[in-house]
Amino acid sequence: METTLTQSSQTPQTQDTFPINGTDHIELYVGNAKQSAMYYQAALGFEWVAYQGPETGVRDRVSYVLQQDKIRIVLTAALSPDHEIAKHVAEHGDGVKVLALWVDDAEKAYHTAVERGAKSAFPPFSTEDANGKVTMAAIHTYGDTIHTLVDRSQYNGPFLPGYEARKSVYPIKPVGLKYVDHCVGNVELGGMNKWVKFYEDVMGFKLLVTFDDKDISTEYTALMSKVVSNGNGYIKFPINEPAKGRKKSQIEEYLDFYRSAGVQHIAVATDDIIDTVSRMRANGIDFLYVPETYYEDVLDRVGHIEENLEELKALNILIDRDEDGYLLQIFTKPIQDRPTVFFEIIQRAGARSFGKGNFKALFEAIEREQELRGTL
């Protein structure tokens, strides 16, 4: 079956029944937030902007808020072993707990979602400090992941009420990351259609594109994926599930190590991927490796690109083209001990798709890593 592009991500919807302005923040539960915060600052170029913990009157946890352009990452760790956050980390390892969505009316969005079948994570509440008021509520999605709905229209503090402003204690060199392009979930076998339907029914998302195991398979493993997108196209959630292959797929490996469905990767956009990846490599970030042979015929497939192919090859950046333009992309290796969450860096030159032409090369690269881990 061919990949089907069912709808353009930029097509305005006539009626958006679940308006979302964009990604508000992404919160990871981690084992050691202080040290993770250093990684995000030193290696990924994020600025430290806010904090809560014992010094601010919060006794059971610490949270570091880091920001680069429009991307806001929250790193939270528990201060006692029986805490829900500590249990989450024991079960899943470091991982994404919250994909928070920025809305104008959190109460209305929450009630709409729950009426349409979403499971409540917490009901709406308002919280305020000297900087104003924020209203939040949350619903469950796949695995232990939740969507917090955040209305910050009456707030001008550094993050949320209760957080204090902080600054990095040494000069940060941003790497050019601009905004969240898409967030990918891995779900269990048979779960993909269920979660696509959840986003369609509950949040009014539309199916953007379908990849089956013919599109995404190597000699050994396969997966299937469907991408859903919200009314204004700013939120894109690809949902992957494993497909039958000769060996264990990367999705099964993820599910084994994360021990449930969860966020697989966060794709962040840059305007200059050569500069961004050069800086990240210099900072010690390691990326998936694609053999040099990839570059021998890549231009036959994608046609003319503005960038210098030798530079892309030296950095191992991949190229793909669709009917709207081309894109450049690269995947980091996992960013924690377990082979679970990683980042994708993406630069779009018109293309609205997800790099289908690179799937085979990328998945073979992941399989080489699986082989080294003994999990293929």
Q: Whose Cβ is closer to Fe ion: residue 267's or residue 376's?
A: 267
Per-residue x/- marks for Fe ion, 291-330, CB under 5 A? ----------------------------------------
With CB under 5 A as the rule, give the number of residues binding Fe ion.
2
Residue list 335-354, contact with Fe ion (CB under 5 A): 344
Residue 267 makes contact with Fe ion by CB under 5 A: yes
Across 174-193, b (16+ Cβ under 10 Å) vs e yields: ebbbbebbbbbbbbbeebbe
Q: For 12, phi and psi rounded to 5 degrees? A: -70, 140
Q: Whose Cβ is closer to Fe ion: residue 88's or residue 226's?
A: 226
- Least distance in angstroms from the C-beta of 178 to Fe ion: 16
- Least distance in angstroms from the C-beta of 348 to Fe ion: 12
- Least distance in angstroms from the C-beta of 53 to Fe ion: 33
Q: Binding segment for Fe ion among 67-75, 93-101, 137-145, 262-270 (CB under 5 A)? A: 262-270
What is the Cα–Cα distance from 107 to 226, expressed in whole angstroms?
Answer: 29
Q: Give CA 298 to chain center in angstroms.
A: 27
Tokens of 104: 């104008």
Q: Whose Cβ is closer to Fe ion: residue 267's or residue 298's?
A: 267
Q: Whose Cβ is closer to Fe ion: residue 180's or residue 267's?
A: 267
Structural contact between residues 341 and 263, judged by C-beta atoms closer than 8 angstroms: yes
Q: Whose Cβ is closer to Fe ion: residue 144's or residue 344's?
A: 344
- Least distance in angstroms from the C-beta of 265 to Fe ion: 6
Tally of CB atoms within 10 A around 2:
8
Per-residue x/- marks for Fe ion, 214-253, CB under 5 A? ----------------------------------------
Residue 181 makes contact with Fe ion by CB under 5 A: no
- Least distance in angstroms from the C-beta of 27 to Fe ion: 20
What is the Cα–Cα distance from 49 to 127, expressed in whole angstroms?
Answer: 19
Look up residue 13 and give its DSSP letter. P
Q: Whose Cβ is closer to Fe ion: residue 163's or residue 211's?
A: 211
Q: Whose Cβ is closer to Fe ion: residue 241's or residue 344's?
A: 344
Q: Which residues contact 169 (CB under 8 A, 6 or more apart)?
A: 48
Tokens of 141: 């999605």
Q: Binding segment for Fe ion among 78-86, 109-117, 239-247, 260-268 (CB under 5 A)? A: 260-268
Structural contact between residues 94 and 29, judged by C-beta atoms closer than 8 angstroms: yes
Residue 183 makes contact with Fe ion by CB under 5 A: no
Rg (CA), the chain: 20
- Least distance in angstroms from the C-beta of 317 to Fe ion: 14
Q: Whose Cβ is closer to Fe ion: residue 134's or residue 227's?
A: 227
- Least distance in angstroms from the C-beta of 354 to Fe ion: 5
What is the Cα–Cα distance from 151 to 60, expressed in whole angstroms?
Answer: 25
Across 94-124, b (16+ Cβ under 10 Å) vs e yields: bbbbbbbbbbeebbbbbbbbeebebeebeeb
- Least distance in angstroms from the C-beta of 25 to Fe ion: 19
Q: Angle, nearest 10°, between helix axes 359-373 and 250-258?
A: 50
Question: What is the contact surface with Fe ion in residues (CB under 5 A)?
Answer: 267, 344
